[in-house]
Amino acid sequence: MNIDLAINEGSKILKSKFIPNPLLDAEILMAKTINKDRNYILLNLNKTLSENQINSFYKLIKIRSYGNPVAYLTKKRFFWNTEFYVTSDTLIPRPETELIVENALRLTRQKKKINILDIGVGSGCILLSILQERENCYGIGIDISKKCLKISQINAINLQVSSRLKLYKSDVDKFNIGKYDLIVSNPPYIKKFQLKYLERDVANFEPRLALDGGLDGLSEVRKVIKKSSELIKKNGKFILEIGFDQKNKIINLLKKEGFYLNSIQKDLGKNDRCIVATKI
């Protein structure tokens, strides 16, 4: 069997299981199977596959057909300007989260040393993208998941920023180290009862811990805002990712904790997604 035929067959299987982009996924999984990139696949469609390769490919197709996200099968996801190592212990980095990075880079153009805290660092996608672009930035990442910290560490080494990074396993409310010029966070903000209505890939495969914001979706957000107000320097900046319907509630929480609201940005779906505030 050649690459072309296998991809077509794989794609048909995915389609029959209602996977949204069956052909693209089949191509990516083929690339993973034969350890090449997608361009190679498209230029070598007539190449014959070994029996082993065919078996491994169909195995991946089968796992994907149950809804397991492609990023967890390939163990990587592109974010900002790097490929991040991810496993099913981490949230898969999302394009909308790049809004945090954009804002952070806009706010860290000065040459002075800047201390950054990332609350719920996960794969490290936010903090490490900033550190990679700004040599004057030093980062601390906290997470309650030890496995995530390991993954962040691996990504930091890959991005060659580990000398400017420290990671701590900690609950947000128990963390008390340092004072920060900039605090960033993409906390879990989905309402508990809405978790089951997320897309199947997300609901069944991504870590609950990274998504579940409690009954009103704000239980972690409240802790993050409160802790940030304690650990941030005066005039320090705070950048937070939020749920599409949380803007007003979060603005109130921020004001109560002594923050001035600078801006709110929408994601590509036109939902309010990223808030920038200053501690006054």
Half-sphere exposure of 201 (CA within 13 A, CB side): 17
Q: How far is the CB of 211 from ligand GLN (least distance, A)?
A: 7
Of 10, 69, 139, 188, the one binding ligand GLN (CB under 6 A) is 188
**Could you tell me which stretch among 8-16, 39-47, 55-63, 182-190 binds ligand GLN (CB under 6 A)?**
182-190
Q: What string marks each residue from 8 to 47 as x (binds ligand GLN by CB under 6 A) or -?
A: ----------------------------------------
Q: List, as own/partner pairs, every contact residues 49-54 make where C-beta atoms lie below 8 angstroms and the sequence separation is at least 24, other chains included.
A: 49/1, 49/2, 49/3, 49/6, 54/1, 54/6
Query: Of 234, 226, 254, 276, nearest to 107 (Cα)?
Result: 276
| Bridge partner list, 190 | 212
Establish if 155 lies at the interface with ligand GLN (CB under 6 A).
no
Looking at the Cβ atoms of 186 and 228, the one nearer to ligand GLN is 186
Establish if 243 lies at the interface with ligand GLN (CB under 6 A).
no
In contact, 242 and 251? CB cutoff 8 Å = no
Establish if 71 lies at the interface with ligand GLN (CB under 6 A).
no
**Could you tell me which stretch among 90-98, 175-183, 197-205, 254-262 binds ligand GLN (CB under 6 A)?**
90-98
Could you say which residues in the range 121-140 bind ligand GLN, by CB under 6 A? 121-123, 125-126
Establish if 120 lies at the interface with ligand GLN (CB under 6 A).
yes
Looking at the Cβ atoms of 40 and 205, the one nearer to ligand GLN is 205
Q: How far is the CB of 206 from ligand GLN (least distance, A)?
A: 9
How far, in Å, CA of 59 to CA of 10, rounded? Answer: 10
Strands 272-279 and 232-241: antiparallel
Establish if 183 lies at the interface with ligand GLN (CB under 6 A).
no
Could you say which residues in the range 193-232 bind ligand GLN, by CB under 6 A? 210
Strand segments, DSSP code E, in 120-201 are 137-143, 165-169, 180-185
How far, in Å, CA of 275 to CA of 104, rounded? Answer: 11
**Could you tell me which stretch among 18-26, 118-126, 193-201, 247-255 binds ligand GLN (CB under 6 A)?**
118-126
Query: Of 237, 233, 232, nearest to 106 (Cα)?
Result: 237
State whether residue 93 is helix, strand or coil: coil
What is the binding site for ligand GLN (CB under 6 A)? 91, 93, 97, 120-123, 125-126, 186-188, 210
